[in-house]
Amino acid sequence: MRGRRRKRRSWKVHESRTLRGVDLTIVDGIPATSVVRTILDLPAVAHPYLVGKAVDHACRRDPAVLDAIVRRHRELPRRGRRGAVLLSRMLAERVGEPIGDTDFETIALRLVRSVGLPHPMPQYEVRDDDFVAYLDLAWPDIKWFVECDSLDEHSGKGPHEWDRMRRRHLKRLGWDPVEVTYDDVTTRAAQTGQELRELYDARARAKRPESGVPQTLDPC
Protein backbone atom coordinates (compact mmCIF):
# COMPACT_ATOMS: atom_id res chain seq x y z
CA MET A 1 0.00 0.00 0.00
CA ARG A 2 1.37 3.41 -0.94
CA GLY A 3 2.55 5.47 1.98
CA ARG A 4 3.15 2.55 4.33
CA ARG A 5 6.78 1.72 5.12
CA ARG A 6 7.96 -1.72 6.08
CA LYS A 7 11.51 -2.87 6.69
CA ARG A 8 12.77 -5.51 4.30
CA ARG A 9 16.13 -7.22 4.45
CA SER A 10 16.46 -8.47 0.88
CA TRP A 11 14.74 -5.78 -1.23
CA LYS A 12 13.76 -2.12 -1.27
CA VAL A 13 10.44 -0.44 -1.98
CA HIS A 14 10.46 2.59 -4.30
CA GLU A 15 7.51 4.92 -4.83
CA SER A 16 6.82 7.35 -7.64
CA ARG A 17 4.53 10.37 -7.90
CA THR A 18 4.65 10.37 -11.70
CA LEU A 19 3.35 6.94 -12.71
CA ARG A 20 0.65 6.96 -15.37
CA GLY A 21 -1.05 4.17 -17.26
CA VAL A 22 1.47 4.58 -20.08
CA ASP A 23 4.21 3.51 -17.64
CA LEU A 24 2.57 0.19 -16.77
CA THR A 25 2.30 -3.22 -18.32
CA ILE A 26 1.42 -6.80 -17.36
CA VAL A 27 4.05 -9.56 -17.39
CA ASP A 28 2.78 -13.11 -16.81
CA GLY A 29 -0.23 -11.67 -15.01
CA ILE A 30 1.89 -9.46 -12.72
CA PRO A 31 1.66 -5.64 -12.91
CA ALA A 32 5.03 -4.10 -13.77
CA THR A 33 6.55 -0.96 -15.20
CA SER A 34 7.00 -0.86 -18.96
CA VAL A 35 10.39 -1.24 -20.64
CA VAL A 36 10.48 2.52 -21.25
CA ARG A 37 9.67 3.44 -17.65
CA THR A 38 12.04 0.82 -16.25
CA ILE A 39 14.92 2.33 -18.23
CA LEU A 40 13.95 5.83 -17.13
CA ASP A 41 14.05 4.77 -13.47
CA LEU A 42 17.19 2.65 -13.78
CA PRO A 43 19.81 5.45 -13.44
CA ALA A 44 18.61 6.09 -9.88
CA VAL A 45 19.62 2.60 -8.73
CA ALA A 46 22.18 1.19 -11.20
CA HIS A 47 25.70 1.97 -12.41
CA PRO A 48 25.89 4.07 -15.61
CA TYR A 49 27.53 1.17 -17.46
CA LEU A 50 24.54 -1.06 -16.74
CA VAL A 51 22.12 1.71 -17.71
CA GLY A 52 23.86 2.11 -21.07
CA LYS A 53 23.76 -1.63 -21.69
CA ALA A 54 20.05 -1.73 -20.85
CA VAL A 55 19.28 1.13 -23.26
CA ASP A 56 21.26 -0.46 -26.08
CA HIS A 57 19.75 -3.90 -25.49
CA ALA A 58 16.22 -2.49 -25.56
CA CYS A 59 16.98 -0.60 -28.79
CA ARG A 60 18.37 -3.72 -30.48
CA ARG A 61 15.17 -5.60 -29.66
CA ASP A 62 12.94 -2.72 -30.79
CA PRO A 63 14.53 0.21 -32.68
CA ALA A 64 11.41 2.33 -32.07
CA VAL A 65 11.87 2.20 -28.31
CA LEU A 66 14.57 4.91 -28.32
CA ASP A 67 12.10 7.53 -29.54
CA ALA A 68 9.63 6.38 -26.86
CA ILE A 69 12.30 6.68 -24.14
CA VAL A 70 13.29 10.18 -25.29
CA ARG A 71 9.64 11.32 -25.45
CA ARG A 72 8.75 10.01 -21.98
CA HIS A 73 11.99 11.38 -20.54
CA ARG A 74 11.05 14.84 -21.82
CA GLU A 75 7.60 14.50 -20.30
CA LEU A 76 8.63 13.49 -16.79
CA PRO A 77 9.60 16.08 -14.15
CA ARG A 78 13.35 16.04 -13.54
CA ARG A 79 13.52 18.03 -10.31
CA GLY A 80 14.66 15.59 -7.64
CA ARG A 81 14.70 12.65 -10.08
CA ARG A 82 17.96 10.88 -9.51
CA GLY A 83 19.87 10.01 -12.66
CA ALA A 84 17.92 12.36 -14.94
CA VAL A 85 21.01 14.33 -15.98
CA LEU A 86 22.94 11.13 -16.69
CA LEU A 87 20.12 9.74 -18.81
CA SER A 88 19.80 13.01 -20.74
CA ARG A 89 23.47 12.73 -21.67
CA MET A 90 23.16 9.07 -22.68
CA LEU A 91 20.11 9.70 -24.83
CA ALA A 92 21.71 12.75 -26.46
CA GLU A 93 24.66 10.58 -27.51
CA ARG A 94 22.30 8.08 -29.13
CA VAL A 95 19.95 10.47 -30.93
CA GLY A 96 22.70 12.89 -31.94
CA GLU A 97 21.16 16.03 -30.45
CA PRO A 98 20.69 17.65 -27.03
CA ILE A 99 17.65 16.43 -25.10
CA GLY A 100 17.05 19.76 -23.34
CA ASP A 101 16.72 20.64 -19.68
CA THR A 102 13.05 21.64 -19.51
CA ASP A 103 10.51 18.96 -18.60
CA PHE A 104 6.84 18.72 -19.53
CA GLU A 105 5.52 19.92 -16.17
CA THR A 106 7.79 22.97 -16.13
CA ILE A 107 6.71 23.99 -19.64
CA ALA A 108 3.04 23.58 -18.65
CA LEU A 109 3.64 25.63 -15.48
CA ARG A 110 5.18 28.45 -17.51
CA LEU A 111 2.23 28.36 -19.90
CA VAL A 112 -0.48 28.65 -17.23
CA ARG A 113 1.42 31.51 -15.57
CA SER A 114 1.85 33.29 -18.92
CA VAL A 115 -1.94 33.49 -19.36
CA GLY A 116 -2.45 34.96 -15.90
CA LEU A 117 -3.63 31.94 -13.93
CA PRO A 118 -2.87 31.83 -10.19
CA HIS A 119 0.20 29.81 -9.29
CA PRO A 120 -0.82 26.12 -9.02
CA MET A 121 0.44 23.53 -6.55
CA PRO A 122 2.68 21.04 -8.41
CA GLN A 123 2.35 17.35 -7.53
CA TYR A 124 -0.54 18.01 -5.15
CA GLU A 125 -1.39 14.92 -3.08
CA VAL A 126 -4.98 13.66 -2.91
CA ARG A 127 -5.77 10.84 -0.47
CA ASP A 128 -8.99 8.92 0.08
CA ASP A 129 -8.44 5.87 2.31
CA ASP A 130 -6.14 3.60 0.26
CA PHE A 131 -6.43 5.75 -2.87
CA VAL A 132 -3.54 8.16 -3.50
CA ALA A 133 -3.03 10.43 -6.50
CA TYR A 134 -0.57 13.18 -7.25
CA LEU A 135 -1.94 15.93 -9.48
CA ASP A 136 0.57 17.60 -11.80
CA LEU A 137 -0.69 21.21 -11.49
CA ALA A 138 -3.57 21.71 -9.07
CA TRP A 139 -5.75 24.56 -7.81
CA PRO A 140 -7.21 22.97 -4.64
CA ASP A 141 -9.51 25.90 -3.83
CA ILE A 142 -11.64 25.12 -6.89
CA LYS A 143 -10.68 21.42 -7.21
CA TRP A 144 -9.35 21.86 -10.75
CA PHE A 145 -6.12 20.47 -12.14
CA VAL A 146 -4.07 20.16 -15.31
CA GLU A 147 -2.73 16.71 -16.08
CA CYS A 148 0.40 16.43 -18.23
CA ASP A 149 -0.77 13.46 -20.26
CA SER A 150 1.34 11.08 -22.32
CA LEU A 151 -0.06 9.65 -25.53
CA ASP A 152 1.38 6.23 -26.35
CA GLU A 153 -0.28 4.20 -29.05
CA HIS A 154 1.51 1.08 -27.78
CA SER A 155 -0.18 1.05 -24.38
CA GLY A 156 -2.39 -1.92 -23.75
CA LYS A 157 -5.85 -2.23 -22.25
CA GLY A 158 -4.61 -2.49 -18.65
CA PRO A 159 -2.71 0.82 -18.53
CA HIS A 160 -5.60 2.71 -20.10
CA GLU A 161 -8.03 1.20 -17.59
CA TRP A 162 -5.69 2.15 -14.72
CA ASP A 163 -5.71 5.80 -15.85
CA ARG A 164 -9.48 5.83 -16.25
CA MET A 165 -10.09 4.32 -12.81
CA ARG A 166 -7.83 6.99 -11.31
CA ARG A 167 -9.69 9.80 -13.09
CA ARG A 168 -13.10 8.40 -12.12
CA HIS A 169 -12.07 8.31 -8.46
CA LEU A 170 -10.88 11.90 -8.63
CA LYS A 171 -14.18 12.87 -10.25
CA ARG A 172 -16.05 11.25 -7.37
CA LEU A 173 -14.00 13.38 -5.00
CA GLY A 174 -15.13 16.50 -6.86
CA TRP A 175 -12.00 17.16 -8.92
CA ASP A 176 -12.28 18.43 -12.49
CA PRO A 177 -9.30 17.38 -14.67
CA VAL A 178 -8.03 18.91 -17.90
CA GLU A 179 -5.47 16.89 -19.85
CA VAL A 180 -2.78 18.41 -22.04
CA THR A 181 -0.15 16.68 -24.17
CA TYR A 182 3.45 17.69 -24.77
CA ASP A 183 2.50 19.04 -28.20
CA ASP A 184 -0.34 21.04 -26.62
CA VAL A 185 2.07 23.05 -24.48
CA THR A 186 4.84 23.37 -27.07
CA THR A 187 3.66 23.50 -30.69
CA ARG A 188 0.10 24.64 -29.80
CA ALA A 189 0.98 26.76 -26.76
CA ALA A 190 -1.01 29.90 -27.68
CA GLN A 191 -4.24 28.01 -28.36
CA THR A 192 -3.80 25.75 -25.33
CA GLY A 193 -3.10 28.71 -23.05
CA GLN A 194 -6.27 30.47 -24.14
CA GLU A 195 -8.32 27.30 -23.62
CA LEU A 196 -6.88 26.74 -20.14
CA ARG A 197 -7.64 30.35 -19.20
CA GLU A 198 -11.26 29.92 -20.30
CA LEU A 199 -11.65 26.56 -18.57
CA TYR A 200 -10.15 27.87 -15.32
CA ASP A 201 -12.45 30.91 -15.36
CA ALA A 202 -15.50 28.72 -15.98
CA ARG A 203 -14.55 26.39 -13.11
CA ALA A 204 -13.86 29.32 -10.78
CA ARG A 205 -17.27 30.86 -11.55
CA ALA A 206 -18.99 27.54 -10.91
CA LYS A 207 -17.21 27.02 -7.58
CA ARG A 208 -17.33 30.63 -6.35
CA PRO A 209 -20.74 32.35 -6.67
CA GLU A 210 -20.35 35.99 -7.67
CA SER A 211 -20.64 38.55 -4.87
CA GLY A 212 -23.93 40.39 -4.84
CA VAL A 213 -25.98 37.38 -5.93
CA PRO A 214 -28.68 36.74 -3.32
CA GLN A 215 -28.18 33.51 -1.43
CA THR A 216 -31.14 31.26 -0.66
CA LEU A 217 -31.60 30.90 3.08
CA ASP A 218 -33.11 27.86 4.72
CA PRO A 219 -36.32 28.69 6.55
CA CYS A 220 -35.98 28.76 10.33
Q: What is the DSSP string of 24-92?
A: EEEETTEEEE-HHHHHHHGGGTS-HHHHHHHHHHHHHH-TTHHHHHHHHHHHS--TT-TTHHHHHHHHH
- In this prediction, residues 53-68 reach a mean pLDDT of 90
* For residue 87, pLDDT beyond 80: yes
CA-wise closest residue to 136 among 189, 101, 182: 182
> What is the pLDDT, as a whole number, of residue 54?
92
- In this prediction, residues 66-74 reach a mean pLDDT of 86
Confidence of residue 167 (pLDDT cuts 50, 70, 90): confident
Which residues lie closer than 8 Å to 203 by C-beta, 6 or more apart? 142, 144, 176
> Which range has the worst mean pLDDT, 67-71, 113-117, 148-152, 163-167?
148-152
* For residue 37, pLDDT beyond 50: yes
> What is the pLDDT, as a whole number, of residue 13?
55
The answer to whether the beta carbons of residues 83 and 42 sit under 8 Å apart is yes
Give me the phi and psi of 115, to 5 degrees please. Answer: -100, 15
